A = this chain, B = another copy of it.
């Protein structure tokens, strides 16, 4: 089952790392516990809408961008799941390379 919180966690971590920020910095700015943010990034905890808004603010990213990115990554995973190509380890040509790279990392970590 494809879970939103896993993709959301990946997106939040990628955005944080793109900005060269530590967990501690973003947790501090967003006023959330460092351990909690870490669990959210690893897809182990659901983030409430209020916490998500705070973290987006701390990252200086609109929530809309985060949710669209989550949607885009879920779409790639869905396509991989239904495509016969997935069984052969190939990715459809219609999937942008950038997304393949980011989801590829996710899939690798999860042992796909």
Chain A residues packing against B (C-beta within 8 Å)? 1-6, 46, 48-50, 52-53, 62-72, 74-75, 77-78
Specify which chain B residues have a CB less than 8 angstroms from the CB of A49 in the assembled complex: 3-6, 46
Q: Is the interface of A mostly helix, strand, loop or mixed?
A: helix
If the complex has contacts A46-B46, A46-B48, are A64 and B53 also in contact, measured as CB distance less than 8 A?
no
If the complex has contacts A1-B53, A2-B53, are A62 and B46 also in contact, measured as CB distance less than 8 A?
no
- A2 to chain B minimum Cβ distance, whole angstroms, is 6
Decide: A74 and B67 in contact? CB cutoff 8 A: yes
If the complex has contacts A46-B48, A50-B1, are A70 and B72 also in contact, measured as CB distance less than 8 A?
no
Specify which chain B residues have a CB less than 8 angstroms from the CB of A63 in the assembled complex: 2, 4, 74, 78
Chain B: CB-nearest residue to A82: B62
A48 and B45 CA atoms in complex are apart in Å by 9
Decide: B53 and A75 in contact? CB cutoff 8 A: no
